[in-house]
Amino acid sequence: MRALWVLAALILAGCGDLVTAGVEQPFISPVSGPAEGGTTITVYGEGFRASAQVRVGGQPATAVAFKGQGILQAVTPPGPVGPADVVVLHGERVHLALPGAFTYQGVESAQVSTITPASGPAEGGTEVTLIGSGFTAETSVVFGGRAAREVVFINDQLLQVVTPPSPPGAAPVTLFKPGTSPTTAPTAFEFVEAVPEVPESEPPRLLSAQAVDHTHVLLSFSEALDPSAADARHYTVAPALVVVGATLRPLDAQVLLETTPMTAGATYTVTAAADVTDRAGNGLDANANAAAFDAPLIVDDGILPRVVGAVSTGNTEVLVRFSRPMGDSALVPAAYAIVQENVHPEAAYLGLLEAAFVNAERTAVQLTTYSQSAVTYRVTVSDVADLTGQSLAPKTQVEGVLIDPTTAVFAGTAANAGDGTLVDSDGDGLSDARELRGWVVSVTTPAGVTHK
What was the pLDDT predicted at 362?
Answer: 85
Edge-to-edge strand ranges of the sheet holding 407-411: 349-350, 336-340, 376-381, 407-411
What value does the mean pLDDT take over residues 128-134?
89
User: Residue 257: CB partners within 8 Å, gap ≥ 6?
Assistant: 216, 217, 218, 219, 232, 235, 237, 243, 245, 246, 270
Q: Of residues 437 and 134, which shows the higher confidence score?
A: 134
Span 282-309, pLDDT tens digits: 999 999 999 999 887 754 445 788 898 8
Pick the CATH number of 206-294 from 3.10.450.40, 3.40.190.10, 2.60.40.1220, 2.40.128.690: 2.60.40.1220
Rounded Cα gap, residues 206 and 225, in angstroms: 11
Report the CATH fold assignment for 111-192.
Answer: Immunoglobulin-like (2.60.40)
Residue 345, phi then psi, degrees to nearest 5? -55, -35
Residue 198: which pLDDT band, with cuts at 50, 70 and 90?
A: low
Secondary structure (DSSP) of 105-122:
E--PPPEEEEEESSEEET
Rounded Cα gap, residues 71 and 59, in angstroms: 20
What was the pLDDT predicted at 300?
Answer: 47
What was the pLDDT predicted at 33?
Answer: 86
User: Residue 410: CB partners within 8 Å, gap ≥ 6?
Assistant: 6, 24, 25, 310, 311, 312, 318, 376, 377, 379
In CATH, what number does 15-105 get? 2.60.40.10
Span 263-286, pLDDT tens digits: 877 899 999 998 999 988 999 999
Span 351-370, pLDDT tens digits: 888 999 988 778 899 999 88
In CATH, what number does 307-435 get? 2.60.40.1220
Rounded Cα gap, residues 115 and 132, in angstroms: 9
Rounded Cα gap, residues 221 and 117, in angstroms: 10
Report the alpha-carbon angle 76-19-410, nearest 5: 95
What was the pLDDT predicted at 230?
Answer: 92
The pTM of the full predicted model, rounded to 2 decimals, is 0.38
Residue 142: which pLDDT band, with cuts at 50, 70 and 90?
A: very high
Q: Of residues 421 and 385, which shows the higher confidence score?
A: 385
Residue 2: which pLDDT band, with cuts at 50, 70 and 90?
A: very low
C-beta of residue 405 within 8 angstroms of C-beta of residue 413 = no
Rounded Cα gap, residues 79 and 57, in angstroms: 7
Burial of residue 141 (CB within 10 Å: 0-12, 13-18, 19+) is buried
What value does the mean pLDDT take over residues 204-226?
87
Rounded Cα gap, residues 416 and 131, in angstroms: 53
Q: Is the pLDDT of residue 344 over 60?
A: no
The most distant pair of C-alpha atoms in the chain lies apart, rounded to whole Å, by: 105
What was the pLDDT predicted at 72?
Answer: 92
* Three-state DSSP state, 334: helix
What value does the mean pLDDT take over residues 134-162?
91
Residues written for the chain: 452
Q: Where are the domains of the chain?
A: 15-105, 111-192, 206-294, 307-435
In whole numbers, what is the pLDDT of the chain averaged over residues? 82
Q: Do domains 15-105 and 206-294 have the same CATH topology?
A: yes
